[in-house]
């Protein structure tokens, strides 16, 4: 069921408008992992303004996180006390789930996009910064595991300490890794630019949408069903063997393979064809435009003729 039983239409409205990402109590309604789309939508809305200001003065690029992060704290201070379904309910929620906390990641991406060609990548001699960034990401993840968890807390990154660590270490580490992939020739660059990995990348958002929810649950239940059927056959045949589906660690790989397979299938046979058709529809009038007066011969129009192929 979408949303809370007492307010389903309000919850549906928030999902359709991508506003549910501002409400802590409703952020996982509908397709739970879709909360991140709210962050993307806010970025797309403000991007023209930000790019305009950055074009006028590159210093605004530095001021961007210094404006949006305090704005997030201010919104929590104002609205956190009202308890409107958790609208900007607390600091950790703001930092982890909203644009105001995630803007630092976007800031790093914008800096990388504008200055990657000017950034030096040979400061560390023979050590590739691609690998430095890669190692730093995992070091940061290890630090997340060391963060003490309070009641009801499951992940270190979702604590206040984790948010700070994410901002000051993980985000720059990802930026360094991407800079290395762009500027350096490495084995990792060749692997990640291969056709198969590119296909996985193109279908990654579909994977993100289905890795939790009905499809994922169906696959998990299917693994358990297969495991039961295998043991039933062993009992019937009088065998005392291990089932290929009884090891949870191995089952993870089965589930990942199934989810990736479904994601690729949907991408190749649904998303990509639809994307192509939408592009063809949007360019149809331009590529098949006719002269305003079809009875006028091109020779009589002279230099104003536009040849449409």
Q: What pLDDT is recorded for position 74?
A: 94
pLDDT band at 286 (very low <50, low <70, confident <90, very high): low
Q: What pLDDT is recorded for position 290?
A: 56
CB atoms within 10 A of CB 174: 19
* Residue 170 sits in the same domain as residue 33: yes
In a domain, 36, yes or no: yes
pLDDT band at 291 (very low <50, low <70, confident <90, very high): low
Q: How many domains does the chain have?
A: 2
Q: How far apart are CA 95 and CA 166, in angstroms?
A: 10
8-state DSSP, 156? G
Q: Which residue has the higher pLDDT, 72 or 119?
A: 72
Q: What pLDDT is recorded for position 61?
A: 78
pLDDT, tens digit, 9 for 90 and up, residues 235-278: 989 888 888 998 888 999 999 999 999 999 999 999 999 999 98
Q: What pLDDT is recorded for position 160?
A: 82
Q: How far apart are CA 159 and CA 55, in angstroms?
A: 36
235: domain range?
210-287
pTM score, two decimals? 0.75
In a domain, 299, yes or no: no
pLDDT, tens digit, 9 for 90 and up, residues 1-41: 344 445 778 888 888 888 888 998 888 888 888 888 899 89
* Residue 120 sits in the same domain as residue 244: no
Q: Which three-class secondary structure state does DSSP give residue 39?
A: helix
* Residue 217 sits in the same domain as residue 167: no
* Residue 15 sits in the same domain as residue 64: yes
pLDDT band at 62 (very low <50, low <70, confident <90, very high): confident
Q: What pLDDT is recorded for position 47?
A: 83
Rounded to the nearest 10 degrees, what angle do helices 171-183 and 99-115 cross at?
Answer: 30
Outline where the chain has alpha helix (H): 8-16, 35-56, 59-79, 91-97, 99-115, 129-146, 160-165, 171-183, 187-192, 195-202, 204-210, 214-237, 248-266, 272-287, 298-301
* Residue 174 sits in the same domain as residue 234: no
In a domain, 1, yes or no: no
């Amino acid at each position: 069921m979408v949303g809370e039983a007492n307010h389903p239409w309000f919850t549906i409205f928030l999902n359709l408008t991508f506003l549910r990402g501002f409400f802590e109590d409703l952020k996982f309604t509908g397709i739970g992992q879709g909360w991140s789309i709210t962050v993307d939508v806010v970025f797309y809305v403000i991007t023209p303004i930000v790019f305009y200001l950055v074009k006028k003065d590159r210093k605004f690029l530095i001021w961007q996180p210094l404006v949006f992060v305090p704005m997030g704290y201010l919104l929590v201070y104002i609205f956190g006390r009202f308890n409107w379904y958790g609208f900007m309910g607390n600091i950790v929620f703001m930092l982890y789930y909203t644009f105001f906390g995630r803007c630092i990641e976007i800031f790093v991406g914008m800096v990388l996009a504008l200055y990657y060609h000017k950034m030096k990548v040979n400061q560390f001699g023979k050590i590739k910064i691609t690998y430095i960034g890669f190692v730093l990401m995992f070091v940061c993840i290890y630090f997340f595991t060391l963060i003490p968890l309070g009641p009801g807390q499951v992940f270190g990154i979702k604590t206040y300490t984790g948010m700070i660590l994410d901002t000051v270490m993980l985000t720059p580490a990802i930026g360094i890794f991407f800079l290395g992939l762009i500027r350096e020739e490495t084995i990792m660059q060749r692997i990640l630019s291969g056709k198969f990995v590119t296909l996985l990348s193109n279908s990654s958002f579909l994977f993100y949408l289905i890795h939790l929810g009905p499809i994922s649950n169906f696959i998990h239940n299917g693994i358990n069903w297969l495991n039961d059927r295998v043991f039933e056959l062993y009992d019937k045949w009088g065998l005392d063997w291990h089932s290929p589906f009884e090891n949870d660690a191995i089952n993870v790989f089965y589930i990942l393979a199934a989810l990736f397979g479904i994601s690729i299938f949907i991408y190749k046979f649904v998303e990509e064809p639809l994307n192509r058709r939408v592009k063809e529809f949007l360019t149809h009038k331009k590529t098949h435009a006719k002269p305003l007066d079809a009875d006028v011969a091109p020779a009589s129009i002279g230099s104003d003729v536009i040849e449409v192929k």
